[in-house]
Structure 1
């Protein structure tokens, strides 16, 4: 019996389907991951943020103490506010003929040094202490405010650098295939799907931190200006009321 080659068109439908499937099968190249594991804010450790928050608390505490000593100094025996100028006049009068001098050991700090302070009455001793404490905390407030402002600026700079790096890493990676629905569905290098919720939460936390830092920057600026204004007022009032000779 003669044998004839089988005509491919005469094969069954299933066979044709199988062959067609085999002919159209393409082995795709491995898809390069688009989403990589990016530690948002990796350059800005939690310890740095906690240090800034402690610094802000120290600033608030120093400001509170400054207000306390200022109220003590400017209050009359009845508890009424007599103003800085009148308080300095009363102090000059209370010091009387006692030997004393006004020193300025720092740019934003003055102090009264009295020789023979043991001969002063308690009220005058308290007023001298109040004056010196005001200057002490005025200097501290300004110094802490400047430090806080610089620390916040550095932190924000690191945050921005971290965010820029994250964007750069994502941009420099190859684009996904057309069949991909979203870059969020692309695998990470370890073969695992990225945790989208985790990434969104991390981004929100970073923005929350930045908002908090920006508020502390404003707080530091306001407090620093307040401290400088008060010290400049002290200098002016001391020149016209504390150091004058005609009482």
Structure 2
């Protein structure tokens, strides 16, 4: 690991720790980038990359000419909890099943780096698996795990246990982001979810971070006519 990468991870972990612990509450102004660079003995560019990652994860916000501040919770945003797919299926009173389709350890490519928000390449675990409900396809899962953050995943087979619950039990996470979109079924979805060509699918993409960097990116593809997403809202304080 290079010096820049080590410093990047250290600064990121330190700031995330201050925010997650509540030491820096919402609205707290972070030290200026030039001051952080002097504190850690690094270039301002390294600090800027850390700040950009914190903005992407929603932990801080930048205000022109004022600096960076711990972000206020956004009342208008839907908060989607990270559910185990097994629980989703069992809530429908159906038998749950899981099958590993493919598992590969490899060096990250440009698309992997984009999905995980990595500035440099690292080893990743690429997993494809299928969840079933009542012996019918329920959800196609395609997941990348950042092995720089979760090296023990490289030795776990994921034959009996799905990666989602394993990660929840193994790695504390500090923040997550969901993206939901409707797409036409690709060839993998057509085959594994037993769909017709170009049938509508619902895709939930989730990025999860821990202290120190991105942990995993997962794309969950559901048949569009068999799945809905529900989010609960509460009025702002």
TM-score of the two chains, using structure 2 as the length reference: 0.20
TM-score of the two chains, using structure 1 as the length reference: 0.19
> Which of structures 1 and 2 has the larger relative contact order (alpha carbons within 8 angstroms, sep 6+)?
1
Instruction: Name the one with the larger helix percent.
Output: 1
Instruction: Name the one with the larger strand percent.
Output: 2
User: Computing the radius of gyration over CA atoms, which structure comes out larger, 1 or 2?
Assistant: 1
